Amino acid sequence: MKDQKKKDNQQLELVQLLASRLERLSADSTWSHRASGLRGNMLKVLEEIASGQPVDGARLALLVDKGFEILRNAAMEIPDLDALRKNG
3-class secondary structure per residue, the chain: CHHHHHHHHHHHHHHHHHHHHHHCCCCCCCCHHHHHHHHHHHHHHHHHHHCCCCCCHHHHHHHHHHHHHHHHHHHHCCCCHHHHHHHC
User: What's the mean pLDDT in 32-60?
Assistant: 93
Determine, yes or no, domain membership for 52.
yes
Domain of residue 18, residue span: 2-77
pTM reported for the whole predicted model: 0.82
What's the pLDDT at 75?
Answer: 92
**Averaged over 25-43, what is the pLDDT?**
94
Evaluate whether residue 61 is within a structural domain.
Answer: yes
Q: Does residue 47 lie within any of the structural domains?
A: yes
- Evaluate whether residue 88 is within a structural domain: no
In a domain, 18, yes or no: yes
Average pLDDT, the chain: 89
Number of domains in the chain: 1
Asked if the structure places residue 38 within a domain, the reply is yes
Given this model, what pLDDT does residue 34 score? 94
- Domain membership of residue 84 (yes or no) is no
Q: Give the pLDDT confidence score for residue 38 in this predicted structure.
A: 97
The answer, yes or no, to whether residue 88 has pLDDT greater than 70, is no
In a domain, 35, yes or no: yes
